[in-house]
Structures are given as C-alpha cells and as structure tokens.
Amino acid sequence: MLKDDKINYLNIGLMLVTMVLAYYFPFETFLLAYAFLGPLHYLTEISWLHDRQYFTKGKYDFIPLLLIGIALSYAAFAKDAGFDMEFYNTFVELGLFDKLLVLALFSSLLFAFVKNLPVKIFSILFLFIFISGWFSEDNKEMNQSSTTVFALTSLLPTLIHVYVFTGLFMLFGALKSRSKTGLMSVGAFIILPIILIFVVPVKPKTNYISSYGKEAYYAGGDGFFYTNVSIMDHFKLTKDPYLTNKQYLDSIVNKKSANNQFPAAEKIRITDSLKNKLNENFIVPNPDNEYYMKPIPMKMAIPINTKDYYWSSVFFSTFGIMLMRFIAFAYMYHYLNWFSKTEVIRWHKVPKIRFAAVLIIWLAACGLYAYNYALGLSFLFFLSFTHVLLEFPLNMVSIIGIGKETMSIAKNGFKKSPEVAKK
C-alpha cells in the first residue's frame, strides 16, 4: 500500500472518531480541540507557510496580510482588556473588521498569481475603494440580510476556513496525485457530517453538556456562543417566541408608567382590555408599525438579556445541537487532518530553535486556556486569526489548482501527468 493511501485511510478513520466524539460531546470536543490542538496548528502551519513564502509570488506579499491581522487583533484585544476603546470604537464605526477581512481575501488572489508590484498596489487600492462602497452605511440594511456578506464576514474565518478550505485542499491533493483513496477521503469528509447532522437522532432533553462546557463556550460573552447565535439567527434556525400580553404589560406599560412616560388612565384602559387574555400573543395595534395586526417577536420589544434569551436555543434545542455537532466535527478534523500528514506536508522539518519556540508557546497557550478559557481566547486571537489570513493565498492556489486538474483529467483521463509521475 502506498504511503498516500495509508494516510488517506488513516484520515477516514480519524473522521469516524471525530464523528463519534462530536455526537456524544459536541461542545466539549470543540473546546478541547480548539484549546489544545488549535495553538499547535497555528504555530506549525505559519512555520510551514513561511518556508514556502506563503504561496505568494512576491517575497514580502505576506506583510499586508500580517498587518491586517495585527490591526484586527489589536482592536479585539483593546475591547477585551478595556483599554484604547477609542481605537476599537473607531474600528467599529468605520466597519474595518469586515472591510479588512474581505480585502485580505480578495488581495490574496493577487499575491498568489501576480508578480508585478505596481499592478498589485493599484489593484489593492481599487479593491479597498470597491469594498468600502460595498460595506458603506448606505448598504448596511441590505448587507445585514445578505448571506454572501454573512459568509464573507462571519463564516469565512470560522467554518469556511476549517471545513470548506480543508475540503478544497484535500480535493486538490487527491486530483493532483490522481489518488482514488484521496477522493474516497473527500467523499467521507462530505458524507459523514451529513449523517452526523441529519441522520443520527437528536435528543435535546438528554443531550450531554457539562457546566464547564457551557461556561467555557460562553466565556463571559467573549466565547463562541454568539457565533452560534449569529448563524442560527441569520438562517432562522431558532423559534423566536412572540411577546404575550402579560409581557407587554410587565415590560413596557409598567416600565413606562414607573418613569411617568405612560399616563395612568391610559395604563388602566390597556390593562382592562388585556386582562382576560394575558397569555395570548400581543397584537400590534399601531398601523404605522411593520408588525401591524401581527404578533411581535419578543426580542424586538423587550431589552432582554441575550445570554438568557438564546441559552436554551444554543445548548438544548434540536437545531442548536445539530449545528454544534457540525462545528465540533469541522474543527476537530481540521486539526487532525493537519497533524496526520506529517510525512507529506513535512511541517515538522524546521530548525530546532524554531521548533523549541513553537513548543514553548504552545505549552503557554494550553496553560492559558486551562487557567481561564476566555483569557486564552483573548491572548491567542492574534495567532488564530492571522493564520487564517496567511493561508488565503494557499486557498486560492488550491481553488485554481482544482480547476486545472479537473480540466487535465477531462482531457487525459484519470492518470498522472508526466510531470507529476516523475516526482
């Protein structure tokens, strides 16, 4: 059996193990993988990319991506640590989190395939102007409902990075080497999560999650909790409860009355009209309201604590568990896939001093996560986010490579090209 075939069968086995872990312990599987495998992955992949010039045409093309990573990380750390909030607020007001992330993605096409420096500089300036217009305040409402924008800003550094780009990298390798077992592993990579999410039953009432799992996933509001919330909200995977008449009276009428914003006589009139149907949905009587003569979603009317509001949806709902199974599978296998290909990628063949530095930083990162998960997330944000940015040129090379290899297979059949065969 060829070495590549052994690795591909090993990876299918790792997918099956990951599938089992994601089924029984979705939150804990993700948390442990992210904390203890994640930092080692960031460090070794950045080292590997550095030795290959980040798959760019120019020696210093990686610097813009690195600078974007530094800027985004500084803004995020400023918020977490509560210092230089003016910088963070300016970043948010200008929408730079989204703009710079999308700029890094589109610019990586230039870095991967264009040698001419003036062309790259001019094109990046043009891209930034285009992206600034696309993400301008005038388009804010349209962008909020756009799945494309949501994918580019929220899913790109998370699920697209760990699942889609991993799958594309695997597919490119299988096509380039004309490996049937490689294609089998790609097929398993697609099919097993589908089985895990849609075929294996979900029982929310008996779903296991430890107290540590819930608190670490929330991490004081700085964890991954709101990533799940944003995905479930955008794709409407939650059943949004409607405001009842009792909640309307308690949270709006009584509050306004206490602040002398609601006339007492009007309050009595409203109370009398609703007192016999307190548990029914509140129907909006205002003809100028978009919900006129319709029940209004609770979160649109009450300034609720979003943690409590979404807690059960994230941890104990059917959709919440299905989503978490996929997240756990995607992240755990993303790391295992990287470490399983030691002899193929040879990421471990680095100078001893650098390898020692990697181990020291990794152990320190594990210690931070073990001490306080939120603290680990804050201090490791730079590495976790920047390695995503630095990988973009490789992602572009993989996508274009898949197209080229597919055309070659269509033309010559499923056999290695003379160049590949020689290697």
Could you report how far apart the first and last alpha carbons of the chain are, in Å? 18
Whole-number Å distance between alpha carbons of 397 and 54: 11
Q: Would the pLDDT of 418 be above 60?
A: no
State the pLDDT at residue 175. Answer: 96
Query: Which pLDDT band holds residue 417 (cuts at 50, 70, 90)?
Result: low
Whole-number Å distance between alpha carbons of 153 and 412: 39
Query: Which pLDDT band holds residue 124 (cuts at 50, 70, 90)?
Result: very high
Q: Is 242 helix (H, G, I), strand (E, B) or coil?
A: strand
Q: Which of 171, 126, 165, 131 is nearest to 148 (CA)?
A: 131
Q: Would the pLDDT of 303 be above 70?
A: no
State the pLDDT at residue 422. Answer: 54
Query: Which pLDDT band holds residue 421 (cuts at 50, 70, 90)?
Result: low
Structure-model confidence comparison of residues 33 and 79, the more confident one: 33
Percentage of residues of the chain with pLDDT beyond 90: 69
State the pLDDT at residue 206. Answer: 77
Query: Which pLDDT band holds residue 420 (cuts at 50, 70, 90)?
Result: low
Q: Is 244 helix (H, G, I), strand (E, B) or coil?
A: strand
For residue 255, count CB atoms less than 10 angstroms from its CB and return exposed for 0-12, middle for 13-18, buried for 19 or more.
Answer: middle
Average pLDDT over residues 206-219: 90
Mean pLDDT lowest among 112-121, 173-182, 346-355 = 346-355
Structure-model confidence comparison of residues 238 and 23, the more confident one: 23
State the pLDDT at residue 310. Answer: 86
Query: Which pLDDT band holds residue 138 (cuts at 50, 70, 90)?
Result: very high
Q: Would the pLDDT of 238 be above 90?
A: no
Average pLDDT over residues 71-87: 91
Q: What is the mean pLDDT of the chain?
A: 91
State the pLDDT at residue 423. Answer: 53
Q: Would the pLDDT of 110 be above 80?
A: yes
Most confident of 39-48, 76-85, 207-216, 349-358: 39-48
Longest dimension (CA), the chain: 90
Query: Which pLDDT band holds residue 306 (cuts at 50, 70, 90)?
Result: confident
Average pLDDT over residues 75-95: 91
Q: Is 348 helix (H, G, I), strand (E, B) or coil?
A: coil
Q: Is 210 helix (H, G, I), strand (E, B) or coil?
A: coil
State the pLDDT at residue 258. Answer: 65
Residue 147: both structure tokens together: 């799945």
State the pLDDT at residue 349. Answer: 82
Query: Which pLDDT band holds residue 243 (cuts at 50, 70, 90)?
Result: confident
Q: What are phi and psi of 381, to 5 degrees?
A: -60, -40
